[in-house]
C-alpha cells in the first residue's frame, strides 16, 4: 500500500489488531483476498499451520472485523480500497453479517498443569465477561445462562470448563439466530508448552474435549478457522473429527495468505525507498516454501524496515525449544545432519504431519517434521514415500542459521563465551595462527575427554570441521576433497574471491615431543601436493596455510606464508 498526502507509514511491530492497523496508518500488506477465498468455499473446520510470528493473529483479526455483526459499524471503512472490495459487491455483502467468536490460546504459558488449568479458568471467565449480554438474552435457554454464570465466576469444575467453547457458541447461536463463525488462534500453544514442561498427557486430555466438542458435527457452528504451528495427530486431539481441512506448510491451499511474497516485499521496499536492501532481505529472511510458494518471514521484514538493518529478529521472539530438544536427543546421525545443514546442504526425512510431540524423542523423522512446521527448516523437494512425504530439507535463511549456531554453541561452549569462540575463528581467517591454536588448545583442554582424542585423527578432523561449520558463514566448508595431487583435510573457501581462504592439514602425534615434526609434515604436505589448486580454480588468490598437530588435548599449529 502506497504512502500518500505526506503520510508516513509506521511499521506494525507487535500490532496484530486489524482495526489498529487500518485506522492508525500502519503499513498493511493486503491479504484480504483470503476473505474472498473463504466465501467462495470453505471447509467446516480449516486448520492453517504456520511458524510463530508469521501473522496468524492479524489474519484472524482481519476475518473477525470483516464478518462480525458486532463490529459492523467499526468495520465500515476498514476495507476501502482493499482486494476484497475490488472483488465486488456480492462479497462485500457478507461484511458484518455473522456472529463471530475470536479467541486466542497463545498466552497460556504456565509451567505446570495446575497452573495452566487455573489460567484456562481465568481466560474462560474473561471470554464470558466479554459476552455478558448472553446471560441477559431472552433468546438464550435459562439453563445455559446458569452454566454461563458459573463459568464466568470461575465456579465451575474441569468437566464444565472442557465444554466452555461449546456452551459459548450455542448461546451466541441462540442470541443472534445464526450459526457462529469460530476463529481460534494458536490452538496448540498450550500443548507445546505442556510438552516442553512435562504435563503433555494432562493437557492433551483436556484439549481433546475442549476443542473436539465444539468442532465435531456442531450445528451451532457455521465454520471454524484455526491457526497453530503443528497439526497435532488426530488420534491425540481431533478424534473422529472428519471435517478437518489441514492447510500446512506443505499444502497449496492458502499458501500465500500468511507471510510475505517476494512481490509484496519488493513493493514494501519501493514504498519505503529501500530497494537497495532487497538482496540482504532475501539472504536473511527469504527461503520458506509454503505449498511451493516462496515466502519471506513477515516479522523480520517489518522489523528490518522499522530499524533499517538486518538482524536476528524472529529467532529472538519465537522460542527455540524444538532446537534444544533436537540437541538433547542428538545422535551420530543427527550430528552429521546438523553439520550438513550448517554447510548449506540438505538432509532427507520422511515428513508425517500427523505426528505427536511424544514421537520426537524416539523418531528422527518426527523431529524433522517438527523443525519443518516450526520454521527451522524448509522443504526444497518432495516425493511420495512410505507413510509420508520424503523431503529434502534445508535451513531457509541466514537468520535461522544463526539460531542453530547459537543454540549448539550454548550447549557446548562450557566456560567459554560465544564471543571468545568467535574471536578464535576471526584469528584463523585473518592469519593469526598462533592465537587460533592457543584458544583452540584451551577449548580442547577444558571440554574434550582424553579418551575421545587418543590417537584419532578422525576425531580432531570432525571436531574442527564441526566448530568451523558453526562459526564460519559466507564461506564454503570442504572436507577431504581432492585438490592438486591429493586430498586436503579441511578448506574454508570464501564466496567473495577478494577474501582470503584457509587450508588445513591435520596430523596426530603419539608423543608431545613429536608434535613440531608432525605440524611441519602437515604444512609440507599442503605445499608438495598443491592443495591450493582448488582455490586457484575458483579465482581466490590469497590462502592461509596451516599444518596442525594434535596429541591428546595438546595442539600445535605451524603457519605457512600466504600464497
**pLDDT, greater one: 92 or 387:** 92
- For residue 385, the cross-strand partners are 388
Three-class SS state of 151: helix
Q: What's residue 451's pLDDT? A: 46
Asked whether the predicted pLDDT for residue 7 surpasses 90, the reply is no
Task: Give the global pTM.
Answer: 0.80
- For residue 260, the cross-strand partners are 296
Domains of the chain (ranges, CATH numbers):
18-247 (3.40.50), 321-400 (no CATH), 414-560 (no CATH)
pLDDT in tens, 80-104: 999 999 999 999 999 999 999 999 9
Backbone φ, ψ for residue 381 (5° rounding) = -155, 160
d(CA 95, CA 490): 63
Percent of the chain with pLDDT over 90: 58
**pLDDT, greater one: 440 or 179:** 179
Confidence of residue 125 (pLDDT cuts 50, 70, 90): very high
Q: How confident is the model over 1-6, as a mean pLDDT?
A: 42
Q: Lowest-pLDDT range, 54-63, 258-267, 479-488?
A: 479-488
pLDDT in tens, 225-245: 999 987 765 546 676 666 788
d(CA 25, CA 17): 13
d(CA 197, CA 465): 34
Three-class SS state of 550: strand
Highest mean pLDDT among 4-8, 130-134, 246-250, 558-562: 130-134
Q: What's residue 319's pLDDT? A: 60
Q: How confident is the model over 68-88, as a mean pLDDT?
A: 96
Q: What's residue 409's pLDDT? A: 62
d(CA 281, CA 275): 10
Rounded to the nearest 10 degrees, what angle do helices 457-471 and 398-412 cross at?
A: 130
Kind of pairing between the strands at 486-487 and 482-483: antiparallel
d(CA 306, CA 243): 41
pLDDT in tens, 518-536: 999 999 999 999 999 999 9
Asked whether the predicted pLDDT for residue 331 surpasses 80, the reply is no
The answer to whether 91 and 36 are in contact (CB under 8 A) is: yes
- Burial of residue 456 (number of CB atoms within 10 Å: 0-12, 13-18, 19+): middle
**pLDDT, greater one: 466 or 368:** 368
d(CA 69, CA 384): 44
Mean pLDDT of the chain, nearest integer: 87
Q: What's residue 343's pLDDT? A: 75
CA distances for 473 relative to 399, 440, 468, 549, angstroms: 11, 19, 9, 25
Q: What's residue 361's pLDDT? A: 62
Q: Could you identify the residue written with the cell 486489524? A: 18
Amino acid at each position: 500500500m502506497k504512502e500518500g498526502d505526506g503520510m508516513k507509514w509506521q511499521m506494525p511491530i507487535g500490532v496484530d489488531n486489524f482495526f489498529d492497523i487500518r485506522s492508525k496508518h500502519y503499513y498493511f500488506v493486503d491479504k484480504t483476498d483470503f476473505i474472498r477465498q473463504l466465501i467462495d468455499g470453505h471447509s467446516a473446520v480449516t486448520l492453517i499451520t504456520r511458524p510463530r510470528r508469521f501473522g496468524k493473529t492479524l489474519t484472524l483479526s482481519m476475518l473477525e472485523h470483516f464478518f462480525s455483526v458486532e463490529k459492523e459499524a467499526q468495520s465500515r471503512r476498514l476495507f476501502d480500497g482493499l482486494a476484497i472490495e475490488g472483488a465486488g459487491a456480492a462479497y462485500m455483502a457478507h461484511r458484518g453479517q455473522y456472529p463471530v467468536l475470536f479467541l486466542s490460546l497463545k498466552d497460556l504459558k504456565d509451567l505446570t498443569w495446575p497452573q495452566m488449568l487455573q489460567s484456562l479458568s481465568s481466560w474462560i471467565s474473561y471470554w464470558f465477561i466479554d459476552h455478558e449480554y448472553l446471560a441477559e438474552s431472552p433468546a438464550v435457554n435459562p439453563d445455559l445462562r446458569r452454566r454461563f454464570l458459573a463459568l464466568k465466576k470461575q465456579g465451575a469444575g474441569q468437566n464444565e470448563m472442557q465444554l466452555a467453547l461449546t456452551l459459548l457458541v450455542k448461546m451466541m447461536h441462540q442470541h443472534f439466530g445464526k450459526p457462529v463463525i469460530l476463529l481460534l488462534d494458536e490452538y496448540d500453544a498450550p500443548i507445546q508448552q505442556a510438552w516442553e514442561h512435562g504435563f503433555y498427557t494432562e493437557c492433551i486430555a483436556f484439549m481433546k474435549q475442549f476443542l473436539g466438542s465444539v468442532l465435531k458435527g456442531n450445528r451451532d457452528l457455521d465454520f471454524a478457522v484455526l491457526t497453530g504451528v503443528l497439526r497435532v495427530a488426530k488420534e491425540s486431539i481431533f478424534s473422529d473429527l472428519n471435517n478437518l481441512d489441514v492447510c500446512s506448510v506443505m499444502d497449496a491451499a492458502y499458501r500465500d495468505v500468511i507471510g510475505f511474497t517476494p512481490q509484496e516485499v519488493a513493493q514494501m521496499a519501493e514504498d519505503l525507498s529501500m530497494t537497495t536492501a532487497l538482496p540482504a532481505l532475501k539472504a536473511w529472511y527469504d527461503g520458506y516454501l509454503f505449498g511451493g510458494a516462496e515466502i519471506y518471514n513477515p516479522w523480520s521484514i517489518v522489523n528490518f524496515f522499522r530499524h533499517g538493518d538486518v538482524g536476528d529478529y524472529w529467532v529472538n521472539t519465537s522460542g527455540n525449544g524444538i532446537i534444544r530438544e533436537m540437541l538433547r536427543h542428538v545422535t551420530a546421525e543427527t550430528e552429521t545432519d546438523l553439520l550438513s545443514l550448517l554447510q548449506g546442504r540438505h538432509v532427507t526425512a520422511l515428513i508425517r504431519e500427523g505426528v505427536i510431540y511424544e514421537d520426537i524423542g524416539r523418531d528422527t523423522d518426527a523431529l524433522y517434521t517438527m523443525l519443518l512446521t516450526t520454521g527451522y527448516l524448509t522443504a526444497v523437494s518432495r516425493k511420495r514415500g512410505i507413510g509420508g512425504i520424503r523431503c529434502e530439507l534445508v535451513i531457509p535463511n541466514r537468520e535461522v542459521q544463526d539460531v542453530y549456531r547459537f543454540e549448539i554453541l550454548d550447549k557446548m561452549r562450557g566456560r567459554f563465551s560465544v564471543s571468545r569462540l568467535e574471536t578464535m575463528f576471526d584469528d584463523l581467517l585473518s592469519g593469526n595462527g598462533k592465537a587460533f591454536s592457543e584458544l583452540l588448545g584451551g577449548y580442547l583442554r577444558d571440554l574434550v575427554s582424553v579418551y575421545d582424542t587418543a590417537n584419532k585423527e578422525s576425531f580432531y578432523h570432525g571436531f574442527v570441521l564441526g566448530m568451523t561449520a558453526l562459526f564460519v558463514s559466507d564461506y564454503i566448508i570442504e572436507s577431504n576433497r581432492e585438490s592438486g595431487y591429493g586430498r586436503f583435510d579441511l578448506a574454508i573457501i570464501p564466496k567473495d574471491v577478494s577474501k582470503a581462504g584457509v587450508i588445513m592439514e591435520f596430523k596426530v602425534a603419539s608423543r608431545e615431543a613429536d608434535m613440531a615434526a608432525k605440524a611441519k609434515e602437515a604444512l609440507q604436505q599442503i605445499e608438495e601436493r598443491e592443495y591450493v589448486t582448488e582455490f586457484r580454480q575458483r579465482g581466490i588468490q590469497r590462502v592461509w596455510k596451516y599444518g596442525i598437530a594434535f596429541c591428546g588435548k595438546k595442539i600445535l599449529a605451524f603457519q605457512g606464508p600466504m600464497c
